[in-house]
Each structure stands twice: as structure tokens, then as C-alpha cells.
Amino acid sequence: MNFEMSDDRRMLADSLGRLLDDACGFEHRTKVAYEAPWHDPAMWSGLAELGLFHAFLSEDQGGFGGAGFDITCVFEPLGRALCPEPVLAQMMGLTLLATAGAETGPALDGTERLALAVDEPDAPWEPEAGSTEFRGGKVTGRKSVVYGGHVADRFLVAALADGKTALVSVAAGDASVTPYGMIDGGGASEVVFEEAPGEVLIADAGAAIADALDRGRLALAAEAVGAMDAALALFTDYLKTRKQFGRPIGTFQALQHRAVDLAIETEQARSIVIRAAAAMGTEAQGKAVAQAKALTGKIARLVAEETIQMQGGVAMTWEYPSSHYAKRLTMIDHQLGDAMFHTERLAKMV
């Protein structure tokens, strides 16, 4: 397998990295990520102008990518920068619009913001409709922890219709939306539909929604790898500069061994994300994505805990980036199914 990115993907990743370095530095990020609207509208426009969202669809769908490696080359830089923009929601929404053969132009240029409403309080992380119903052209039900729902113009809702899970499009103005910020920055929402008018995009959408969720899980795993890279860079710099007993603590063998262990674990996470990206669109997709999400979730928590412990009190402060990386890595594990959830999925696949 060729582990090198193509020239086009490398150019996109480099351009995205420069944009994030210039416009989403740590201090700016902490200002916008924890207060409504929990993101930076100017940054969203910048991502759209870069053509970022086109990377999520194939050429015949109006984009220029659509493969698993197009997802990873976008989300790794987003993870390194702790970018709070709701790109995950846009990517999953675009996947479903393209599958349905619906118009994608406004979402591709960023003027229409999408959110996938699947999770319910009693039925998280699954593509089934739960208790939400579509009857008589209207949606009734509640969706929980809708990523990107705090700024969405349109919801793509999993709803039960004629005994099947349908994908229904509902304008955000026709739903009751309660936005909130997440502990790691960025936003989500609780959404209640009370006979909200909707349009069925896919009548039997279970497989399409499962595919969109798999793509979202791959994106989160890639984001975790980017965040772990940045967290380890901070940690190794700390080992080189923090002194104890008259010398840098990085000269102590015990800490060197722990740092090497974390580097090895991170490379394992990178490898399984590459494997999952290569499996997208094949029969092995579901299994490979579950493996990647389970392993990266476990390693992400380890990196968060170890880097905090070995950097000491400074790593717990708001002003130091490590605490923010630790929060994001912990949250990534829980988004779209934690490590235990995906371990159980794998057990069922055997």
C-alpha cells in the first residue's frame, strides 16, 4: 500500500494548514469556541472559499474527492488546530444529499449549513429512526446531541415512515432548536420536531445513514490523530525546556520511555486510520471503521491522560493548550460511539 498522499490531497492539506495557522491560532480559538455561536463565521467562509467541502464528494457528485483519504487529509489538520467549525456535520450531510441525488450546490459553497439528526436520548449512535415519526408530510420527535445543529439551516432527520427508516429534510426554522456549547469547544443542539413539515429524500435510508455515520467516524479518528500529534509536540517541547535537579526532565530515562510509548501508540492509531480510509466503499468498511474508532478512542484517552500527568499543574490551566487537547481527545472518543460501543459492534460482526 502507498502511504503517501497524492499531490492534490497534499496541496489541500497544506492550504488548509496555512489557513488554520493564520486564522485559527490557539488564543483566537479559545475566544470563539466556548461562546455562542461556538465557532467563527469568518473561518467557515474561509473554509468554503478554499473549496474544502468539495473534498467530500466525487466529481460526478459535484466535488473533487469523496474517498476515505480525502476525509483524512481534511480532518487531521482540523484536529491539530482544534478547529471548532461544524465540518463534521457538513460532511455527513453532504454525503446523504449526494446519495439521495438532491441538490448539493448551496452546501458545497457553504451558504447552506447541514446537520444530521439521528441520535435520540434512548437510541444513540445507531442509524435507526428511534421514536421519531414522519406521517402526513410532517415530522414528530426529538433528536439529541445534533452536531452542527446550533447553526444548521437544514436538518436531515432519521424518521420512521411506513415501517422503514426514512431520511427527511426539515428546515431549521420549522424545528425547536436548543443550542449549547460542548465541554471541549464547538456546539451542538437538542432538536424537537412538532409536526414539522418535511420532504422525504430517501424512503429506505438505513444503509445510507450507516454509511454517512461511518464516514463521520473515520473523520473523527483522523481528527484524533491530528490532535494527538499536536499534543505530543507540546509534551516533547515541555520535556526539553522544563528543568529539575539542574537539567531538562527529558533527560530522565523513565520519562523518555513513557514519551516513546505514546509516540508508538499514536503511530498505531495513524496506521489503523489509514487502513479504514482504504476500506471505504468496500465490504470491509464497517468493520475497518469500527476498529479504527475503537482503537483511536482508547489511544486518545491514553494520550490525554499521560500528557496531562507528565506536564503537571500547568497542563490543567486554561491558558496552556494541553488541557484543551485533552478535552477534545476525550470528547472524540464519545462522539458517534465510544470505544466500548465499537468493540461491541466488532463482536457482533464476528
Burial of 159 (0-12, 13-18, 19+ CB in 10 A): buried
Same-domain status, 228 and 309: yes
Q: Please give the model's pTM, rounded to 2 decimal places.
A: 0.96
Q: What is the largest CA-CA distance in the chain?
A: 75
Contacts of 281 (CB under 8 A, 6+ apart): 67, 68
Specify whether 44 is located in the same domain as 162. no
CB 239, CB 248: distance < 8 Å: yes
> Which of 204, 236, 267 is the endpoint of a domain?
204
Q: What is the domain range of residue 148?
A: 114-204
| pLDDT average, residue stretch 341-349 | 93
Is residue 218 one of the residues assigned to a domain?
Answer: yes
Q: Quick check: 345 pLDDT over 80?
A: yes
- CB-based burial, 168-179: b 16+ in 10 Å, e otherwise: bbbebebbebeb
* Any domain includes 2: no
**Mean local confidence (pLDDT), 297-307:** 95
CA-wise closest residue to 145 among 95, 100, 183? 183
| Gap between the Cα atoms of 56 and 73, Å rounded | 11
Last residue of a domain, one of 155, 180, 204: 204
Contacts of 297 (CB under 8 A, 6+ apart): 224, 332, 333, 338, 339, 342
C-alpha 213/C-alpha 337 separation (Å) is 10
Residues 295 and 242 in one domain: yes
**CATH number of the domain bearing residue 99:** 1.10.540.10
53-107 pLDDT, tens digit each: 999 999 999 999 999 999 999 999 999 999 999 999 999 999 999 999 999 999 9
Q: Taking residues 297-319, what's their average pLDDT?
A: 93
Residue 127: C-alpha distances to residues 119, 123, 130 (Å): 8, 9, 9
- Please tell me the total count of domains within the chain: 3
* 282 and 307 part of one domain: yes
Percent of the chain with pLDDT over 90: 87
What pLDDT, on the 0 to 100 scale, is given for residue 125?
Answer: 77
pLDDT, tens digit, for every residue of 1-49?
Answer: 556 788 889 999 999 999 999 999 999 999 999 999 999 999 999 999 9
Judge if the upstream peptide bond of residue 37 is cis by omega within 30 degrees of 0: yes
CB atoms under 10 Å from CB of 160, counted, come to 18
pLDDT at 244: 81
Last residue of a domain, one of 204, 231, 252: 204
pLDDT in tens, 120-155: 988 777 788 789 999 999 999 999 999 999 999 999
